[in-house]
Structure 1
Amino acid sequence: MRRAVAFALAALALVCAAPANASRTVAVDAAGAVHAYVVGADGALYHAPPGGVLARVGGAGLAQEPVAVERDGQGRLLVVARTDDGALLALPDGDWSARVQVAAGAAGSPELLVLSDGKLALFYRGVDGKLWSVTEGVGGWQSPVSLADDAAGDPTATLDHSAAIFVVYRSTTGAIVTPDGLQNLGPAASDPAVVRYPDGRLEVFARAADGTLWRAAQELPLFGFGPVTPLAAGPVIGTPAAVLDGARNLHVFARDAGGALQEITSATALGGALSGDPAAIRNRFGLIEVFAPSGATWLARAQSAALTWELGFRALGEAAPAAAPAPVPLLASPTPAPVVVSPTYAPRRLLVDLRADARAGRTSTVFKGLTLRGVPAGATVTATCGKGCKRASLSFRNVAGTVSLKPFFAKRAKQGTLKAGTKIRVVVSAPNMIAAVKTLTVRPRKAPTVATRCLAPGAAAETLCA
């Protein structure tokens, strides 16, 4: 009895405290009840209320990835989602009709954070490879501000012991770093997760390239982070989720190699066959609820009491439009059965940035670098040069982030020269996406031009982008 009372008091203290961690997919309302927001296969937003199942809210053209959701200063659950063309839309309580564009040129899943004054801050990775932030002002959202130019993954944010913003992300070097460059926590193959303890200490979690889940923690709030130490012996996949329960116990969740959900810190196998990363949150009772996709269906599992879990997952339904009703046959007429056509959805456009570090001359241009930025994970890059390059073609498979095309004009040298009129054609493709075709043309006395066209799946020639 005493243990239960102590847990309840600790849970109340944590729930009543100001939010410190940003969250994707899930958030609590003013009553502390948990809501989930996800993007469906049709590009629309879906909402699962507390204890309910997913229902289509509305919208179109949203990227099928985790959305950011937090409670704003008016007590509403503000959802920020990325569209296929890179715009970030803010939707109060998920209301599509009230949407406001906050930023453009986003390349990944956004992150929202409640600041100490109750206003919101938004963080995202751009197609230009930069890390950006946008904050709420008196009259609405302010202009985006660049924080760093080496982002290869999506950011995670929280408040430190002094209520200052703390952001970590995976850089183009493969390390988990802070925008100011003062903290390099270690190499990772996933985006990071972070928790803040009641005394203000921070702890960061990420997955290494060999599947090991590691942690890096502050010993004291004012101190830097200690060395990276392994948290799980067995390999995990995807990005972990971390949260404190009402008794300040740490819970870290990740999928094992078979897709089953594991609670790493207590070595508890929660099962399931998950196809996406988990999202975890503490509810008003101080208990943990976890949400994750399993194919087209979303699942949820919650603690039934401190350190114990419900017997199994609860199905939230599919984030997909309702199936059309079966046609009713006309018995009086021998007409053929109607053909039911399944809905199809247009492939999303792939957005990348081709950037040249070059100095133009009278008849040629000196290149110090030529890079593709914002390449999505698992993409294929094919580049060709008609004449004047050191190599006729380059090919990269299963790449992500920033890809260098420097071998076109220099093998070992730091720079190379291309004559005016030289053209480099770059195609960036990924499964079920409209490929990006970038053509760079070297000009005399002027900076090179970059033309963008689109190549639809299965098409033989590129066209103007819609």
Structure 2
Amino acid sequence: MAVSTTPGTNWKTNVKLDGGLAAEPAPVLNADRRMQVFVKGTDGALWSRWQNRGFTWGAWAKHDGALTDGMPAPVLGRDGKIRVFYRTPDDLLQVITQNGVNGAFGAPVELARNIGSDPVAALGADGRIHVFFRGSDNALWYTRNQGVFYEEYTAPASLGGGLKEKPAAALDGSGRLVVAVRGSDDGLWTIQQKSENSADWASFQQRTTGVTDYPTVATDAAGRVQIFYRGSNGAAWRVGQNSDYQSFAASATLNGGITHRPTAALAQDGRLNVFVVGTDGALWVAVQTAENADSYTNFQSLGGGVGVATPIADHENLLHAFFRGSGSAQHLWDTAQVWA
């Protein structure tokens, strides 16, 4: 059976982009829609590879002074500049920022101490960047831009809770940020802003139980937050936000046998694509049966021997799934949609 994908496209064979990765890759778009992928290198430094003007890939570049202990969190700001947030080996939260639109990066800046997980970053409704992380006390913490001065950040503030791993965050269709976490009880919990751009947050709410990895989030075509996780039965599961952007539906399985958490991205036809690593070590994908549908196709194999894939849409709005390859080299690989 042909892999279900956006009409008019196919999935091409995996492409090796070389490099040596010590953690999962983190892609982001520059202001001119060129992709750039940030990774922790085998030397512990932050590296990236980005596309040239013609959308071919340039050489790997090391970001001097930036040492990371895990997966970085790049985000494109409303001012057109990328910021990359990361945890250092001594548990500092640092950021590097582009000096100008589509440009090089400045020196690292420290934002917080004693963090207990890799950070995640998301834009609020007014474009301010919010950075969430687990603290050394296992609570959820965050810092955000002060006003619309994108180079200034608030002091870290605790949102409470008890986390096992890094959080996941997304802006929903109501303009409020939603953060999903795996709790210390292996439950799936969410916390949400009380109103658009608010510094006040509602209390944590448990959505389901039996979570075995930290969750990931994506928004569907209606702006509803969809939370994906690996269940205690080894299958992929989903908890979807309802149309009120407040409540969540009951958890539902996407089936499959997976080894790590699922990831997801919205394709140009308005359907979410969900990527998993199967028990065979290959990359698999399931797709919403229709825009904003609650049902998904069966998982179909994209092949390869992979780590967790991080998907992103390119300048043509075609999906790419970047992953760390198997074996001692642990190169960066890309599985991409192409026009049929």
* TM-score normalised by structure 1 residue count: 0.58
> Which residue of the partner structure matches residue 247 of structure 1?
269
Which of 251, 259, 282 does residue 313 from structure 2 map onto? 282
1:161–1:221 Cα contact (<8 Å) kept: no
Displacement after TM superposition at 1:200 (Å): 2.7
Identify which of structures 1 and 2 has the higher relative contact order when contacts are C-alpha pairs closer than 8 Å and 6+ apart: 2
Q: Which has the larger helix fraction?
A: 1
What do residues 224-261 of structure 1 show as CA deviations (whole Å, max 9, x unaligned)?
A: 111111102x3101121111111111100010112211
- Distance (Å, rounded) in 1 between the aligned partners of 2:50 and 2:322: 13
1:201–1:218 Cα contact (<8 Å) kept: yes
Q: How does 1:70-219 map to 2 (within 5 A)?
A: 70-93=75-98, 97-138=106-147, 140-179=152-191, 180-219=203-242
Unaligned runs of 5+ in 2: 1-6, 10-23, 192-202, 288-296
Quick one: which amino acid aligns to residue 255 of structure 1? V
Secondary structure at the counterpart of residue 57 of structure 2 = coil
- Distance (Å, rounded) in 1 between the aligned partners of 2:42 and 2:258: 26
What do residues 252-275 of structure 1 show as CA deviations (whole Å, max 9, x unaligned)?
A: 00101122111133532111111x
Quick one: which amino acid aligns to residue 152 of structure 1? K
- Distance (Å, rounded) in 1 between the aligned partners of 2:174 and 2:303: 39
What do residues 371-395 of structure 1 show as CA deviations (whole Å, max 9, x unaligned)?
A: xxxxxxxxxxxxxxxxxxxxxxxxx
- Distance (Å, rounded) in 1 between the aligned partners of 2:66 and 2:109: 15
Which of 53, 56, 64 does residue 59 from structure 1 map onto? 64
Quick one: which amino acid aligns to residue 73 of structure 1? R
What do residues 350-408 of structure 1 show as CA deviations (whole Å, max 9, x unaligned)?
A: xxxxxxxxxxxxxxxxxxxxxxxxxxxxxxxxxxxxxxxxxxxxxxxxxxxxxxxxxxx
- Distance (Å, rounded) in 2 between the aligned partners of 1:61 and 1:136: 21
What do residues 111-130 of structure 1 show as CA deviations (whole Å, max 9, x unaligned)?
A: 01012212211001112211
2:44–2:67 Cα contact (<8 Å) kept: yes
RMSD between superposed Cα atoms in Å: 2.3
Go from structure 1 to structure 2 and tell me whether the alpha carbon gap of 1:271 and 1:111 turns closer, same or farther (over 3 Å shift): same
Go from structure 1 to structure 2 and tell me whether the alpha carbon gap of 1:198 and 1:66 turns closer, same or farther (over 3 Å shift): same
2:207–2:239 Cα contact (<8 Å) kept: no
Quick one: which amino acid aligns to residue 156 of structure 2? P
Segment of structure 1 superposing worse, 250-259 or 195-204: 195-204
> Which residue of the partner structure matches residue 34 of structure 1?
35
- Distance (Å, rounded) in 1 between the aligned partners of 2:104 and 2:69: 18
Percent identical residues:
25
- Distance (Å, rounded) in 1 between the aligned partners of 2:225 and 2:171: 9
2:264–2:311 Cα contact (<8 Å) kept: yes
- Distance (Å, rounded) in 2 between the aligned partners of 1:127 and 1:144: 13
What do residues 417-465 of structure 1 show as CA deviations (whole Å, max 9, x unaligned)?
A: xxxxxxxxxxxxxxxxxxxxxxxxxxxxxxxxxxxxxxxxxxxxxxxxx
- Distance (Å, rounded) in 1 between the aligned partners of 2:106 and 2:125: 29
Go from structure 1 to structure 2 and tell me whether the alpha carbon gap of 1:34 and 1:128 turns closer, same or farther (over 3 Å shift): same
Displacement after TM superposition at 1:74 (Å): 2.5
Displacement after TM superposition at 1:202 (Å): 2.1
Quick one: which amino acid aligns to residue 300 of structure 1? D
Which of 74, 87, 95 does residue 69 from structure 1 map onto? 74
> Which residue of the partner structure matches residue 293 of structure 2?
none
Go from structure 1 to structure 2 and tell me whether the alpha carbon gap of 1:203 and 1:192 turns closer, same or farther (over 3 Å shift): same
- Distance (Å, rounded) in 2 between the aligned partners of 1:196 and 1:96: 29
* TM-score normalised by structure 2 residue count: 0.78
Paired residue total: 285
- Distance (Å, rounded) in 2 between the aligned partners of 1:118 and 1:60: 28
Quick one: which amino acid aligns to residue 299 of structure 1? W
Q: How does 1:377-456 map to 2 (within 5 A)?
A: none
1:7–1:247 Cα contact (<8 Å) kept: no
Unaligned runs of 5+ in 1: 1-5, 9-22, 309-466
Structure (1 or 2) with the larger CA radius of gyration? 1
> Which residue of the partner structure matches residue 269 of structure 1?
301
- Distance (Å, rounded) in 2 between the aligned partners of 1:160 and 1:97: 31
1:32–1:283 Cα contact (<8 Å) kept: yes
